[in-house]
Amino acid sequence: MSENSTIEWTDSTWNPVTGCTKVSPGCKHCYAETFAERFRGVPGHPFEQGFDLRFWPERLELPLKWKQPRLIFVNSMSDLFHKDVPDDYIWKVFETMCKAKHHMFQVLTKRSDRLCQWTASNFSSVPKHIWLGVSVESQQYTFRIKDLQKTPAQTRFLSIEPLIGPVDLDESLLQGIHWVIVGGESGHRARKMDPEWVYNIRKKCLQYDVPFFFKQWGAYDPLSGRKVGKKVAGRILEGRTWNELPTVYQQSY
């Protein structure tokens, strides 16, 4: 839980659920798991249970106490649509988001099939201040985008991070998408991201007028290809930073 997040594309994080399990190659070096497991067995610590799934009902109404409008990443340390999160608990999270209209919420999942089914069953139209997104790490997982496109969301986004293989975002895959985030993997076991993969995604976003946010190169320098760490590699893409946000954010703040 953090009122001031270090994640470049959000302001704060809100974790009414913590813990998760791996579902695809993008999860292999999960930053959240690495962090949580450091504290497994530490009495009284929020991650005493490591990265095992845990519910925090006492946190459900926390965003209502934050009076200043902000971007809030929901479950940065979990996945709200994990198979073991009950439907009624997901609804309680959405209930708070619906009430806290002064904020904008970023709900990101790899469980796109459940996202699609659950939102269609509970909403005719998800409020525009609640953004729904999916993680996509390579072309193999672009089916998640198709699931996202079927949801009744008014604001949809893609987190293409860690980008571990090329992703071809043709016009059909960007239809109804309002924001794209791209980033490389960090950490001592990070997999290398080919700069051409980034350039191609940015090109498609420019072509189809989709806001583009470049988070980081990750562990590898884009010019030399050497492993230098994410701080040194930075996030400059062809001479500038790319911090674009969805139009709904630009219109509201």
Cα 68 to Cα 164: distance, rounded to the nearest angstrom: 37
The rounded mean pLDDT for the chain is 96
Task: Examine the pLDDT at 9 and tell me if it is beyond 60.
Answer: yes
User: Which CA distances in Å does 169 have to 19, 99, 192?
Assistant: 30, 34, 20
Task: Examine the pLDDT at 2 and tell me if it is beyond 60.
Answer: no
| Residues facing 220 on adjacent strands | 227
Task: Write down the pLDDT at residue 4.
Answer: 78
At 55-85, the pLDDT tens digits run 999 999 999 999 999 999 999 999 999 999 9
What does the block give as tokens for 235?
């996030």
Q: Can you tell me the mean pLDDT for 94-120?
A: 98
Task: Examine the pLDDT at 167 and tell me if it is beyond 80.
Answer: yes
Task: Write down the pLDDT at residue 19.
Answer: 98
Cα 158 to Cα 145: distance, rounded to the nearest angstrom: 8
What does the block give as tokens for 87?
């439907």
